[in-house]
């Protein structure tokens, strides 16, 4: 780790790979001998054409996407998608299924309701404060899509296996675990991810959409709320968030060329999460909040014996160069977000600190 950099456990905006930051720094003032910063080049220039097309190509190679999938870059974050999805895909007489596993699922359901779109909440883990992922869900065979949130940053849960929907296309908010593991992409009609957690800085949402879903988009929507607008113009109907897309391109390059792909990334992520969960399972001082079979590999949520100790823990960790360990304001406690870019050394450092803190306060 660079001398002045902390181990950044923030949930988002979150840590980025150091080699990516160094490449940005090196080329920031004069990108590709253009005489301009990447923040200054025109989105209509050959330089940016190369950026966005390479980001798309690398995304497709990493996920094994064929030509029936289109990769888009939109603004408005994942939260904008909560409304755009039912607007684009649910016409008169159509309905969709939703699985409620926490805050972001709840927000997605709320937008469908505001729009007056027919939807069914076919499963929920709200009965136990979203501490688990529901199983054995009965999806409606005539649903246009089944919406899930693949990883829940606030509650620390994650779908270990994606549900069997009987052929209904899955639409998944993957903001916080996108590119952390391989996917069986054939199950998905659409994947979307706000970049700021696992693949880049804030300001852009990546959307991967299958051609049969794209064909459902009606021409009656405002242009900027229609997925076809972005697909027809390679995400450049208007000026896109160029810098954020550039950063995503470099993260995809890092994943592909340095990490070695998503199988290798998943192995690394399982190792990191295992170190932390195994330690907590061996002590009564730290208690993971999610059920074991639903635990997230990205966001490890836990409690200490008292709220006062939690505050002391967060403060002491920050003094030792570990930031962002405060739990979400809606639930309290502690949370270590250990996304792709978090090195294993960061987890080892955290575990050693946790051992010392328990000795002093246990």
pLDDT at residue 3, as a whole number: 62
* Concatenated DSSP letters of 165-182: -TTPPEEEE-TTTTTSS-
Q: Quick one: 51 and 89 in the same domain?
A: yes
Q: Quick one: 344 and 227 in the same domain?
A: no
- Position 2 pLDDT exceeds 70: no
**pTM (2 decimals)?**
0.97
pLDDT at residue 362, as a whole number: 87
Q: In angstroms, how far is the first alpha carbon of the chain from the final one?
A: 30
- CATH code where residue 345 lies: 3.90.1150.10
Domain that holds residue 307: 261-361
**Mean pLDDT computed over 345-356:** 98
Could you say which of 60, 117, 155, 197 is catalytic?
197
Locate tokens 């992409």: which residue? 185
Distance CA 208, CA 214 (A): 10
Tens-place pLDDT, residues 198-220 = 999 999 999 999 999 999 999 99
Q: Quick one: 315 and 242 in the same domain?
A: no
Give the end of a domain, one of 259, 275, 301: 259
- CATH code where residue 126 lies: 3.40.640.10
Could you say which of 97, 173, 254, 272 is catalytic?
173
Residue pair 193/206 in contact (Cβ under 8 Å)? The answer is: yes
Distance CA 50, CA 34 (A): 13
Q: Quick one: 225 and 282 in the same domain?
A: no
**Residue 15 in domain:** no
Assess whether 47 carries a catalytic annotation: no
pLDDT band at 4 (very low <50, low <70, confident <90, very high): confident
Give the end of a domain, one of 259, 277, 312: 259
Distance CA 20, CA 217 (A): 36
**Residue 7 in domain:** no
**Mean pLDDT computed over 40-48:** 97
Beta strands 170-173; 146-149: pairing state: parallel
Q: Quick one: 79 and 183 in the same domain?
A: yes
The three-state secondary structure class of 105 is: helix
Beta bridge partners of 120: 97
Report the number of distinct structural domains present in the chain. 2
Q: Quick one: 214 and 276 in the same domain?
A: no
- Around Cβ 9, how many Cβ atoms within 10 Å? 25
Assess whether 159 carries a catalytic annotation: no
Q: Where are the beta strands (DSSP E) in 186-275?
A: 188-194, 205-210
List Cα–Cα distances, 19 to 48, 234, 258, in angstroms.
Answer: 21, 28, 9
Q: Quick one: 173 and 99 in the same domain?
A: yes
Residue pair 152/298 in contact (Cβ under 8 Å)? The answer is: no
Tens-place pLDDT, residues 99-145 = 999 999 999 999 999 999 999 999 999 999 999 999 999 999 999 99
Assess whether 197 carries a catalytic annotation: yes
Could you say which of 60, 104, 177, 254 is catalytic?
104
């Amino acid at each position: 780790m660079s001398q002045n950099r902390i181990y950044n456990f923030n949930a988002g905006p979150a840590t980025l790979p150091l080699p990516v930051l160094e490449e940005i720094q090196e080329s920031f003032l004069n990108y590709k001998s253009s005489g301009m910063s990447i923040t200054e080049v025109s989105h209509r220039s050959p330089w940016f054409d190369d950026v966005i097309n390479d980001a798309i190509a690398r995304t497709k190679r990493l996920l094994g996407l064929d030509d029936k999938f289109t990769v888009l870059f939109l603004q408005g974050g994942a939260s904008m998608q909560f409304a755009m999805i039912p607007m684009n895909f649910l016409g008169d007489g159509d309905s969709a299924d939703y699985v409620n596993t926490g805050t972001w699922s709840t927000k997605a359901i709320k937008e469908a309701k505001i729009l007056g779109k027919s939807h069914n909440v076919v499963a929920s883990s709200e009965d136990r404060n979203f501490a688990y992922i529901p199983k054995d869900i009965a999806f409606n065979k005539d649903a246009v899509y089944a919406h899930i949130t693949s990883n829940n940053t606030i509650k620390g849960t994650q779908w270990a296996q994606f549900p069997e929907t009987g052929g209904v296309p899955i639409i998944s908010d993957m903001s916080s675990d996108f590119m952390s593991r391989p996917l069986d992409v054939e199950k998905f009609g659409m994947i979307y991810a706000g970049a700021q957690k696992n693949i880049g800085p804030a300001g852009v949402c990546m959307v991967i959409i299958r051609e049969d879903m794209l064909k459902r988009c009606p021409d009656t929507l405002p242009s900027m709320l229609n997925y076809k607008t972005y697909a027809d113009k390679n995400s450049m109907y208007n000026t896109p968030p160029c810098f954020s897309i550039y950063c995503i391109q470099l993260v995809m390059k890092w994943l592909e060329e340095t990490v070695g792909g998503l199988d290798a990334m998943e192995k690394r992520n399982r190792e990191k999460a295992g170190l932390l969960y195994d330690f907590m399972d061996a002590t009564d001082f730290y208690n993971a909040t999610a059920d074991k079979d639903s635990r997230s590999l990205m966001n490890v949520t836990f409690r200490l014996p008292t709220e006062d100790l939690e505050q002391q823990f967060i403060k002491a960790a920050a003094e030792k160069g570990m930031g962002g360990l405060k739990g979400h304001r809606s639930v309290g406690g502690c949370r270590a977000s250990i996304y792709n870019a978090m090195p294993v050394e960061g987890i080892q450092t955290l575990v050693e600190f946790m051992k010392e803190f328990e000795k002093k306060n246990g």
